[in-house]
Amino acid sequence: MTESLEIITTSSDEGTLPLNESLSREIYEKMLTIRRFEEAVLEIYTQGLMRGLAHLYIGQEASAVGICSALNDDDYLTSTHRGHGHLIAKGGKVDRMMAEMMGKVDGYNRGKGGTMHIADMSLGILGANGIVGGGMGMATGAALSGKMRNSGQVAVCFFGDGAINQGAFLESANLASVWSLPVLFVCENNHYGEYTAASDVTAVREHVAERAAGFDMPAVVVDGNDAVAVHQTAMEMVKRARAGEGPCLIENKTYRYRGHHVGDGDPEKTYRTQEETDTWLARDPIPRFARRMMKAGMVDETELDTIDATITGLVEDAVEFAKESPYPVADEVTDHVYA
Q: If binding is defined by CB under 8 A, does position 152 make contact with another protein?
A: no
The residue (of 267 and 328) whose beta carbon lies closer to another protein is: 328
Closest to 215 in 3D by CA, of 244, 242, 181, 252:
181
Pairing between β-strand 192-193 and β-strand 196-197 as defined by DSSP bridges: antiparallel
Interface with another protein, residue 325, by CB under 8 A: no
- What's the start-to-end Cα distance of the chain, in Å? 46
Tell whether residue 130 is a contact of another protein (CB under 8 A). Answer: yes
**HSE of 205, CA atoms in CB hemisphere, 13 A:** 5
**Cα-based torsion angle of the residue sequence 264, 266, 267, 268 in order, rounded to the nearest 10 degrees:** -170
Instruction: Report the length, in residues, of the chain.
Output: 339
- Is 167:139 a contact under the CB 8 Å cutoff? no
Contacts of 202 (CB under 8 A, 6+ apart): 161, 164, 165, 208
User: In Å, what is the CA distance from 167 to each residue of 80, 134, 163, 182?
Assistant: 16, 10, 9, 20
Angle among Cα 296, 188, 71 to the nearest 5 degrees reads 60
Among 33, 140, 225, 233, binds another protein (CB under 8 A): 140
Site membership for another protein, residue 217 (CB under 8 A): no
Q: Which is nearer to another protein, 129 or 165 (CB)?
A: 129
Interface segment toward another protein; rule CB under 8 A; list 13-21, 53-61, 145-153, 287-295: 145-153
Q: Which stretch binds another protein (CB under 8 A): 126-134, 186-194, 267-275, 315-323?
A: 126-134
How many residues bind another protein (CB under 8 A)? The answer is 47
Instruction: Compute the least distance from the CB of residue 83 to another protein, in Å.
Output: 13
Pick one of 146, 162, 193, 259: the residue that binds another protein (CB under 8 A): 146
Residue with smaller CB distance to another protein, 205 or 338: 338
Quick one: how far is CA 22 from the chain centroid?
Answer: 21
**Does 330 engage in binding with another protein (CB under 8 A)?**
no
126 touching another protein, by CB under 8 A: yes
Compose the 160-199 pattern: x for residues touching another protein by CB under 8 A, - for all others: -------xx-xxx-xx--xx--------------------
Cα–Cα distance measured from residue 18 to residue 83, given in angstroms and rounded to the nearest whole number = 28
Looking at the Cβ atoms of 300 and 335, the one nearer to another protein is 335
- What's the min distance (Å) between Cβ of 104 and another protein? 11
Q: Is 117 in the site for another protein (CB under 8 A)?
A: yes
Q: Which is nearer to another protein, 107 or 259 (CB)?
A: 107
* C-alpha triplet 74, 76, 79: angle, nearest 5°: 140
Distance of CA 117 to the CA centre of its chain: 14
CA distance 44 to 304: 25
Residue in 127, 218, 247, 259 binding another protein, rule: CB under 8 A: 127
Residues 64-83 within binding reach of another protein (CB under 8 A): 76, 78
**By CB under 8 A, is residue 131 in contact with another protein?**
yes
Whether residue 123 contacts residue 91, with contact meaning beta carbons closer than 8 Å, is answered with: yes
Q: Which is nearer to another protein, 329 or 339 (CB)?
A: 339
Q: Residue 76: phi, psi to the nearest 5?
A: -100, 155
Contacting positions for another protein (CB under 8 A)? 76, 78, 107-113, 117, 119-121, 126-127, 129-131, 134, 136-146, 148-149, 155, 167-168, 170-172, 174-175, 178-179, 335-339
